[in-house]
Structure 1
Amino acid sequence: MSPTKSFIRTIHLWLGLGTGLLIVFVCLTGSILAFEQELEHAWHPARYFVQPATTPRLQLAQLASAVQARKPKAKISSFKLYADPTRTVEISLAGNDKGGKGGERGGPGRMGQERGPDASRLPRAGRQNENSGKGGPERGGKPKGEGGGPRVFVNPYTAAITGELNPRDNFFKTVEQLHRGLVAGPVGKLVMGVNATIFLFILGTGLVLWWPTARKALKPRLTVKWGSGWKRLNHDFHISLGFYASLFLFIMALTGVGMSFDWVGAGINKLTHSPLKRPEPPTSAAPAAGTAPLAADAVLALARQQAPDAETYTLQMPKEPTGSIRVAVLRPGAITENATDEAYFDQFSGRLISSQTYAQRPVGQRIRGLFKPVHTGAIFGWPTKLLALVIGLLGATFPITGTIMWLNRRRKKQGKHSPARPIIATSAGR
């Protein structure tokens, strides 16, 4: 082996030994998150799905009243509705609600006040879109204020509460926090970012070591000899399967670095000439004296006029008295669940203040919005999720197989350098 390759092998070895346990942990937790949504729905089907009824869906005002009856002091921050008739309506509560005890700072939500015979006033408790533009309400692309507090699931035909989900008590949320930062705040996020960066070096040096010096050595490095002994199988698993998985692991590690360090996003914005900061959400015009906010159902009707074929509609309520109502719409065939079109409506007149399709977003914003779906495999649905699951599980084995290869080499070297034992003649052997 050349001195250069010997040096690269040393780097590859010690980086792998130093971060191996953390890489195994990250790969395993990432594999769990690959099918998060599907597993969550399978474990709690009654929370997410209902039997469609022949009667029309109830008004949002009636659903809001059902939530108000269960949590009198709760304040609604957003509604999410699905075109799928079997899905429940998701109502997110303000982040300071804790088991129905929230809302003390602003008083109870005023969902029962009316503007007309069947209209309800929009609650003013939802956090305005401080993070608008990241996408829809799903995790990883939701604006602040959506999902900060509990989510209540309501049957759209009967207004029955089918379940409640508090992010702090959710299994997958805990796994995600462990995966992204070891539940250690900014320090944990930094550790994971550095670990992802080191993993990139491990993958790069591994490819250099994999590359054969002779063409005849190429085939053995691309195949696994299944009938061999365990040492040979361990070697082939690390070398051959490592080669096939390296490209996907490199992409996962690269997007992990992008999500861990803010400077990556800032650099992408500069390279793509995208704005460094998101624009402030527009405000509603000052209303005439005594003018009440529009009913939530009226805003939903406006959104359906803009996009009648949408898969989901998310209505985010304004926090400030002059705030606007943000509506995120997911159209059929969207590349990810965060690839939503956005519109802002005046909360008093219903006038469309501004709108932006996903294609109109700044390039840098769209690139950064793809980090998580690419990282988790959600970019193209279940096929890429399955690929992410398999690659994650394989990634967890490589530090183990590599450590075994290193131990085998050490034993082999020690055996060569150990002094030969003297042969003692016995009476039987004379």
Structure 2
Amino acid sequence: MSQKKTAFGKLIGTLHLWLGLASGIVIIVLGLTGAIYVFTDELKPLVYQDRLFIQPENKPKLPLSQLLAAAQKAVGEKRPVTRVEISSQPDRTYIFRALKVDKDGFSHWDYYKYYFRAYVNPYNGKVVKLENSENEFFTVILGLHMRMLFGEKIGHAVVSYSVLAFVLILISGLVLWWPSKWNKSGTDKSFKIKWNAKWKRVNYDLHNVLGFYACVLLFMSAVTGLVWAFDWFEKGVKTIADGGKLAEVPAVFSDSTQNKDITAIDRVFATLQTDQPTAYGYLINFPAAGKLPINASTYLTGSNRYDRIQGQYDQFTGAKLRSRSFDELTNGEKAYAMNFDLHVGAWAGLTSKILTFFAGLICASLPVTGFVIWWGRRKKEVKGGKGVRGGKGGMVAPVRAGAGKVGRPAFVSMSSRLSEEEK
């Protein structure tokens, strides 16, 4: 039985080590960028006051169609505006976006064919700021987080499979962390950092103990990341949430026999305000062409994204085609709607955001502390004696002093055992 446990431990240690080495740099970047992105909604109003805020006026705001025309003129007629973000607060600009991507592009800047945001004063229609958003700080942070600043084909694959590896790293790490004995000595090593120990022991504790405390939040962020990474994973989550059979919701379309009316978006916005006059804000997506509807989201609160009403409206007439609150969604749709808030830690307000922020920093530290553990033991084993296989660059398995047996190979350095030097 003990031999089987030893063999299993070696397998888990090997898996943990090599997956960590293979994905370490990406995990560091994802941890740091994720920690920053958690507080994007809180940071933007602080650093972008010049474009987000205006002096409210004692008069009605201009029609949305007129503001759209002003934004379209600013970005250029060859760059169609595709959506607008509207805050209910009287001192905020309307944010219009024109975006087109090239999924075959190699880098972040090849991926975006163009990406502009026009910040428009809703009282007078003036463009407060025209922003080239592909170079904007939070867009670059998101590009690092989602694609490592590569294009879609390379960057998405690198990040997706690194996140998949990270899920396995977390599971194997929990197995390695598990105390061999649940007495005071065993649990102290697993739950406490021995700050007065030598630096190798402190580094080990930072990896082992902090990794455990952040494990649940990191697992949640990683699994929700997989929902966006792989179509099969997204479909699987929705199917499980729907009870084993994916619920299908029929699509709705605009009446293309009607003439195009630019004021249709004014009627859509008026309907949104009438239905939910106390809403936190609105997001309206304009269809490029065809029979697709206008998609509009009414956000009921500023603390999360899932608590919203999703509606589709005829792009030619502005008539409501369908409107559903979160409670009216299928279970699969609810799971997907909550994915963003679970990923960024917004599911329990500011408290969960703070915890997710620190979990992101711990995530970025784990490959570093893990590498230090592995490298230190590897150097010690290589230096400690003659191995079975010699030669430059060869794998060395040292012989322990005073024993006739070959010592454990380097891959067990990621196990939960500590050497005497590190205690």
Structure 1 length normalisation: TM-score?
A: 0.75
Query: 1: CA distance between counterparts of 2:91 and 2:120?
Result: 12
Shift of 1:298: 3.3
Structure 2 residue corresponding to 1:214, chosen from 168, 181, 195:
181
Gaps of 5+ in 2: 102-112, 387-398, 402-423
Question: Aligned in 2, Cα 1:352/1:380: closer, same or farther, shift over 3 Å?
Answer: same
The number of residue pairs the alignment matches comes to: 367
Structure 1 residue ranges without an equivalent (≥5): 97-146, 421-430
**What's the counterpart of residue 116 of structure 1?**
none
1:9 has 2:13 as partner:
yes
1:219-230 paired onto structure 2 within 5 Å: 219-230=188-199
Which letter maps to 2:201? R
Specify the SS of the correspondent of 1:215: coil
Q: Work out whether residues 222 and 240 of structure 1, in 8 Å CA contact, stay in contact via their aligned partners in 2.
A: yes
Length-normalised TM-score, structure 2:
0.76
Q: CA RMSD in A?
A: 3.1
Paired residues of 2:177 and 2:208 also in contact (CA < 8 A):
yes
- 1:40-189 alignment runs, 5 A limit: 40-67=44-71, 70=74, 73=77, 75-93=80-98, 95=100, 149-182=115-148, 183-189=150-156
Change (3 A) 1:247 1:381: same
Moved more, 198-207 or 351-360: 351-360
CA contact under 8 A between 1:274 and 1:364: conserved in structure 2?
A: no
User: Does structure 1 residue 362 correspond to structure 2 residue 352?
Assistant: no
Which is higher, the Rg of structure 1 or of structure 2?
1
One of 12, 37, 42 as aligned partner of 1:38: 42
DSSP 3-state at the match of 2:180: coil
Segment of structure 1 superposing worse, 387-396 or 10-19: 10-19
Letter in 2 for 1:44: Y
Give the conservation status (yes or no) of the 8 Å contact 1:292–1:348. Answer: yes
Percent of counterpart pairs with the same letter? 30
Q: 2:160 aligns with which of 178, 193, 201?
A: 193
Q: Secondary structure of 2:347's partner?
A: helix
**Which residue number in structure 2 is paired with residue 126 of structure 1?**
none
| Alpha-carbon separation, structure 2, partners of 1:71 and 1:407 | 52
Shift in Å at residue 307 of structure 1?
1.6
Q: Supply the distance in 1 between the matched residues of 2:377 and 2:250 (Cα, whole angstroms).
A: 58
Quick one: structure 1 residues 174 and 292, their matched pair in 2 at CA, closer, same or farther if it must change by over 3 Å? closer
Ranked by relative contact order (alpha carbons within 8 Å, sequence separation 6 or more), the top structure is 1
1:417 equivalent to 2:385? Answer yes
**Structure 2: how far apart are the matches of 1:278 and 1:224?**
51
C-alpha separation between the residues in 1 aligned to 2:34 and 2:260? 50
1:171-230 per-position Cα deviation (integer Å, ceiling 9, x unaligned): 322332222223142233222222112212221121111111212211232111222221
1:307-346 to structure 2, matched below 5 A, reads 307-320=276-289, 324-332=293-301, 336-346=304-314
C-alpha contact (below 8 Å) 1:285/1:346 kept by paired residues: no
Does the C-alpha gap of structure 1 residues 14 and 383 become closer, same or farther in structure 2, counting only changes over 3 Å? Answer: same
Cα gap change, 1:298 to 1:403, in 2 (>3 Å): closer
